[in-house]
Structure 1
Amino acid sequence: MHRTLATLAALATATTPTLAADPVVLQPNGSWNLDYADEKCLLTRLFGEGKDTHFLAFQQYWPAPEAGVTVAGPGFDRFRSLARTDVRFSETQTPFATTPFTGTVGSYGPGVIFSNLRPDRGEPEQNVTGETGKPGLPQLDPTLGKQAVFLELAQGGRTVRLETGPMDAAFAALNACTLDLLRDWGLDPERHLTAQNGPRWRNEEALTRRIVANYPRDARMQGEQGIMRMRVIVAADGSVESCTIISATKTERLESPACEVMQRAQFDPARDANGTPFRSLYATSITYRMR
């Protein structure tokens, strides 16, 4: 059960229109690699060869119908942060307009970083993507994964395509990994999968405003931006049992106050298939972005 929040500073950022261009097409160099890390599931693959090697990663921090996506390599050296970037996963798909971050990704060089991408929607709209209070457990859709045969990014006349092939098996592997994360946190995946509803955050609007308003001052003055993941364990009585913040991007001064705010959160608890309240997960992505 997750939501996406965004904090916005009052600075304008211009977007660059994407122009049609013949894509740089990169073939896979090896198989998918799935890393069962302590706090996330990381699915990676390499494309191209030698100095033209490119990196693709899907990251999930809990079960969700989307994933954080990072791509990196020399093909992205002209991509600019927060500039319009068109994304698509197949020839028949209409490109989605997105505004990702850019940065350096290890030895792979210039990278493009998405807080969340869905193969059917691109970047989910901020504050509209929550599954809280809905039945079942949202996960990646392997049917959509089967239709997703490449990842193509286009920005400012440069187009780069990573030829992944169908990603249904990769999505299924990520789904299995995130269910294992629930087990690691002492939660019951089966109760989540068959739940009548997830936890409902009753005072969400008031606390979200507080989180959004508190862009850390030192980070804002330095123009520091980043993506955080917040995981909240909600007890069977609706109280906040624990809150964890994980930085999905490297930052120096950017520390989110969200967990302090969440101590005041009030939830209606999740209910299982029989209607019994149970200990469950509420999670969200928080994007600190200068505009």
Structure 2
Amino acid sequence: MLLRLSGLMAAIGCSSALLANPAPPLRPIDSWHLDYGDTQCSATRQFQAASGPVTLGLAPTTSGDSYRLLISVPRRGPAYAQRAMGTIDWGKGQSRVAGLYFGAKAVPVGVYQYRLSAADIEQARTASAVVIDADGSQSYQFALSDMAPLLAGLADCTQALQQQWNLRGDAALNRPAAPVNDVNSLVGQVDDRWDRSLRHPLSSARFQLLVDPRGRVDGCDVSMSSGDALVDAGACEALRDHARFTPATDRRGQPTRSVWTSNPVSWSLASNTFDGGCTKMSSDGRAILNGCERPIIRGLQQMPPPPPASPPPPPSSKS
């Protein structure tokens, strides 16, 4: 499983069914369920298919500038997350989107996840249906209703989340959070063996982290993508596990929650050769693997340097 099972993933994974190439749109069988989470706002809804309900999910980032759209299917997803290109059409033409397809250990489901801009989601406000072509092999069509109040509810939740994490309240902070370790060293180093697993060069990326009063990372959003969904997700996982901060303090000098945004992370690539898709991620989210070779990078951190060379033996004395 690539990402930790959040409340949204748990809701999506419990009840869903696969429908290949649907003709009429799937109809909802319940209302939208809006979850005001501690680190994430999310909404899920079930739709009726011949073999059971399919679940559609939406989750905005803390900043509200992008969303994750998720669809679950009842077959067990891959143990290692895979890239999944797709298209989404809200009735105004198809848009190509990059995403992931992954499974979960606890439940036999597979989940497609795509990242959309807030502008893309705005098309859903008046849409009567959405057609999603997942990875070119599965097509899903959902009849939409109540989208305007849903998006308004997600916006209200996001605003409350921003206040909770002091994203829009710098005046309430005496001191912002500051990283203790080098964030770039956690996510920005890619060696030659990983180069060969990529399909295209990486762009600079930017990450937005929810830092709790202990200085630990409670959540990670991608505010500017590297251009590769697998790399983005793996980098967020590495930051959650390894990034440490001196926490922000409030006006009373007490540690408090805050949001920290990275500078653009430039990826260090040693070559421009790409293998066309051998890369997968381990089920614990900690290792990028090359399906054609062997593990490449543990935790997306810089590979350890080679051991120093042994000193040459002293010259033998002549008798």
Q: 2:46: which partner in 1?
A: 46
**Paired residues of 2:97 and 2:116 also in contact (CA < 8 A):** no
**Paired residues of 1:68 and 1:117 also in contact (CA < 8 A):** yes
Q: 1:82: which partner in 2?
A: 83
- 1:185-196 to 2 correspondences below 5 Å: 185=165, 187=166, 189=168, 191=169
Q: 1:30: which partner in 2?
A: 30
RMSD, aligned CA: 5.0
Q: 1:283 to 1:69 in 2, by over 3 A?
A: farther
Match of 1:281 among 259, 265, 269: 259
Q: Which runs of 5+ in 1 are unaligned?
A: 1-20, 122-140, 193-198, 216-227, 234-239, 266-278
Cα separation, 2, equivalents of 1:119 and 1:55? 21
Q: 1:158: which partner in 2?
A: 138
Structure 1 consecutive aligned stretches of length 4 or more whose deviation exceeds 6 Å: 75-78, 286-289
Q: Which runs of 5+ in 2 are unaligned?
A: 1-20, 171-175, 192-206, 222-232, 248-256, 266-280, 291-319
Cα separation, 2, equivalents of 1:163 and 1:246? 32
- 1:115-154 to 2 correspondences below 5 Å: 116-118=115-117, 120-121=119-120, 143-154=122-133
**Paired residues of 2:101 and 2:110 also in contact (CA < 8 A):** no
Q: Secondary structure at the match of 1:91?
A: coil
Q: Decide which structure has the larger Cα Rg and report it.
A: 2
**Paired residues of 1:41 and 1:178 also in contact (CA < 8 A):** yes
- 1:1-291 to 2 correspondences below 5 Å: 23=23, 25-48=25-48, 51-74=51-74, 81-88=82-89, 90-104=90-104, 109-114=109-114, 116-118=115-117, 120-121=119-120, 143-154=122-133, 155-165=135-145, 167-185=147-165, 187=166, 189=168, 191=169, 207-208=183-184, 210-213=186-189, 230-232=209-211, 242-246=215-219, 256-257=238-239, 261=243, 263=245, 281-283=259-261
Cα separation, 1, equivalents of 2:140 and 2:95? 13
Cα separation, 2, equivalents of 1:61 and 1:101? 19
1:7-63 alpha-carbon deviations (Å, 9 max, x no partner): xxxxxxxxxxxxxx6656311111111111222212111101573211112123513
**Paired residues of 1:230 and 1:245 also in contact (CA < 8 A):** yes
Q: Secondary structure at the match of 2:149?
A: helix
TM-score (norm 1): 0.52
Q: Secondary structure at the match of 1:100?
A: strand
TM-score (norm 2): 0.48
Report deviation, 1:264: 8.9
Give 1:184's aligned amino acid.
Q
**Paired residues of 1:23 and 1:159 also in contact (CA < 8 A):** no
Ranked by relative contact order (alpha carbons within 8 Å, sequence separation 6 or more), the top structure is 1
Cα separation, 2, equivalents of 1:229 and 1:281? 7
Give 2:125's aligned amino acid.
K
Give 1:180's aligned amino acid.
A
1:93-137 alpha-carbon deviations (Å, 9 max, x no partner): 2231323223249768332123x323645xxxxxxxxxxxxxxxx
Q: 1:118 to 1:22 in 2, by over 3 A?
A: same
Sequence identity percentage: 16
Q: Secondary structure at the match of 1:165?
A: coil
